[in-house]
Chains A and B, each alone.
Chain A
Amino acid sequence: MKIKAKWMAYVRYQVVFVVLIILFCCVVVANINSGSVAISVPEILDIIFNKNALITSNYNILWKIRLPRLMTAAVLGGGLSISGFLLQTFFRNPIAGPYVLGISSGAKMTVAFAMIIATKYHGTFTSLELVLAAFVGSLVSMFFVLTISKRVQSISMLLVAGIMIGYICSAFTDFFIAFANEYQVTNIYTWALGSFSGASWTSFKFAATIIFTVSGIVFLLSKPIGAYLLGESYAQSLGVNIKWFRIALILFSSLLSATVTAFAGPISFIGIAVPHMTKMLLKTTKPILVIPAAFICGSTFCMFCDLIARTAFSPTELSISTVTAVFGAPIVISLMLKRQSNPNNT
């Protein structure tokens, strides 16, 4: 009996990972392949792997537009789901995520502010400045969420508070935009809706460095995260230094969502829906499995949504959050309903 149950779980994990990787590859191919100019698979392979390929317009579309955009979507999607996973762990709340808690909006506010100031005085801003601005904004929102979370016990109250913080930050963002000149407005406006259209190799490299490093560290923290799932007291009795661990959780989740927001604007629902989907697929909450699976799942989901955003009403591009909301919101609603019917979980 024991061996059977364990073995079944083991097979499940392997199947889930294999399926996720296959899906990932399919979405990658579909993403490169489709768009206003369709490029066939053999041609894609030729352009990517044949160093002597002719520099055609397809070559440029692939190397300069689709590939950086695709890879940025993959990395940011992964980072966003890890950020959501950390926040859910921290708040012991399955519906927590950087977007609903207002953390993305905090980043949006400071980035908008920084963009306006920077374009006014320097003309440009670097990726580093952008991420730093977003990080500060994330932490500001996080600070308010934390203050409120100490006073409210219920899961839904925390979310209401987060959404309110999000509105306040958006109001400030609108306020800044109102005082910006026209050129800046279009720039900020596209970005603030959330889109990968601005992706370039430079921004990708920068985002990838941060997200891979942080996600790697988070993966190495699987063990204390697992202990933390039992509650702070038990985690501490298992040897986790709660004070430092909390700070780490807050900093890492904020940094991840800040990086995403800095490069692609606030993206909704991936942070909530993906970790949840991953746990349901794996039928476990063990961080050592959930973290890598959530990353791959987030990448795939994000690329898939970007594909739809690009192609559904081409040449008009949708904002990425429009698409993620369509797929993510039902998942969140089902999650809330499920918890309501299960008194053990509230």
Chain B
Amino acid sequence: MNDYYFSSKELTVGYQGIPLIKNINIKLKKGEILTLIGPNGSGKSTILKSLTKHLEKLQGTVFIGKNDMAALTFKEISRQLAVVLTDRIKVDLMTCWDLVETGRYPYTGYLGRLTETDKEKVANALKKVHAWDLKDKNFNEISDGQRQRILLARAICQEPEIIILDEPTSFLDVRHKLELLKILKDMAKIDQITVIMSLHEIDLAQKIADKIMCVKGETIYNYGSPEEIFSSDIIQELYEIDKGSYNVNFGSVELNKSIGEPEVFVIAGDGTGIAHFRELQRREIPFCTGVLHQNDIDYQIAKALAVKVIKSPSFNKISNEIYLEAKEVLHGCKKILYTGVEFAEMNDKNKALLDVARRLNMPICYSVDEI
């Protein structure tokens, strides 16, 4: 069983003897990334704290390498495992360099003096997170995002074989989020460091993780590869999304569709519809749309936002049957919104729909404002 570098067996975690989550079974090889996702307050941090021994586990075993972690001293663990926590660090008069330097503590002598090699490692860690310029700045005077990078540098220069991060991307803007995840990915794939982290951004989790653990309720809701987790309604159920929808393919979040008698029929396609769909949703105007091929990106968004979508199988010309269905829906609407999509062989039936509307003297708008 010990092909795995880090594993937990029937782990139960909780506070003050009261179990919160039971039967946690993690199996990770070197260089794999595990991401914990789940709603706020579901216990992600509790699991992470128990894995790092900050919190006493209630039951089960955690193995690091071939060793039971309970049998290792904190000192032994510190050379294998580094952490980046959400706790706010309260320090005075400490430069970023000083803070990163503390990552070398497990390797320094009795009084904690750094050798030249240690200093080099501190410098490398700072460069790795692109924080070299910050090194002489006071840790209290930099931004939250910069602080997060400094904390990562601190963990890196601890030279761990496994690194555990609690929501490392909070406070970061999009660019730094991506940068941070890229660094973690490189650490995992190039340096073979195992990574366990909790993430709020499920779309990012899907992109970076080798394994995903969905945390919710008394036991682990789901554990598997991103393909397994993101293939069905698991996400929707995990977060109990009822005020909108989450598109697993795009990782995009859509708000609730406007319900009611559709007023507008949108003729779209080729991605020209997305902006209009969202605008209609914002103004709470119920709408129908069609005919959209199922491989059109408009279709993905329309599915989430339109009252009704008339769809057509991919790579086929729109059939007469579907055209008639669309025509009927169109009759029920008051206005037409034409996105300006170009008509060609595959969607010539949509041109026909537009012509029908003209013949019926329905108002044809070209933007949501005109409605």
Residues of A in contact with B (beta carbons under 8 Å apart): 1-2, 5, 92, 94, 220, 222-223, 226-227, 229-231, 233-234, 236-242, 279, 283-286, 288, 342, 344-345
Contact = CB atoms under 8 A, between A and B. Distances in A.
B73 interface: yes
Contacts, number: 91
Interface in B46-100: 49, 52-54, 73-79, 81-83, 85, 87, 89-95, 97-99
Nearest to B140: A344
Contact of B112 (A1, A233, A288, A342): A288
Contact of A237 (B76, B82, B141): B82
B136 A5 contact: yes
Contacts of A344: 140-141
Contacts of B54: 233, 236-237
B105 interface: yes
A226 B106 contact: no
Contacts of A238: 78, 102-103, 105-106, 158
Given A222-B112, A227-B105, A279-B93, A241 B73 contact: yes
15 contacts: A223-B105, A223-B110, A231-B89, A233-B85, A234-B83, A234-B89, A236-B54, A237-B74, A237-B81, A237-B82, A239-B73, A239-B77, A241-B73, A288-B112, A344-B140
B105 A345 contact: no
Given A231-B89, A236-B53, 16 more contacts: A2-B97, A5-B95, A5-B136, A220-B110, A222-B111, A223-B105, A223-B108, A229-B94, A234-B85, A236-B74, A239-B76, A239-B79, A239-B105, A279-B93, A284-B94, A344-B140
A220 B111 contact: yes
Given A5-B136, A233-B83, A237-B78, A226 B89 contact: no
Contact of B87 (A222, A233, A239): A233
Contact of A230 (B76, B78, B91, B93): B91
A142 to B, nearest CB: 22
A230 B136 contact: no
How many chain B residues sit at the interface, stated as a range, is: 35 or more
Contacts of B76: 239
B135 interface: yes
Contact of A223 (B77, B87, B112): B112
Contacts of A231: 87, 89-90
B78 A345 contact: no
A284 B98 contact: yes
B90 A92 contact: yes
Contacts of A222: 111-112
Contacts of A345: 90, 92, 140
State the 8 A-B residue pairs at the shortest beta-carbon distance, nearest first. Answer: A239-B78, A223-B112, A239-B75, A5-B136, A344-B140, A238-B105, A237-B83, A239-B106
A285 B83 contact: no
A2 B85 CA distance: 28
Given A92-B90, A236-B54, A2 B82 contact: no
Nearest to A229: B91
B265 to A, nearest CB: 54
Contact of A94 (B75, B82, B92, B110): B92
B112 A226 contact: yes
Contacts of A283: 93
A285 B111 contact: no
Interface in B126-149: 135-136, 140-141
A234 B140 CA distance: 17
Nearest to B92: A285
Contact of A2 (B75, B136, B141, B158): B136
B230 to A, nearest CB: 32
B104 to A, nearest CB: 9
B98 A286 contact: yes
Given A5-B136, A279-B92, A239 B74 contact: yes
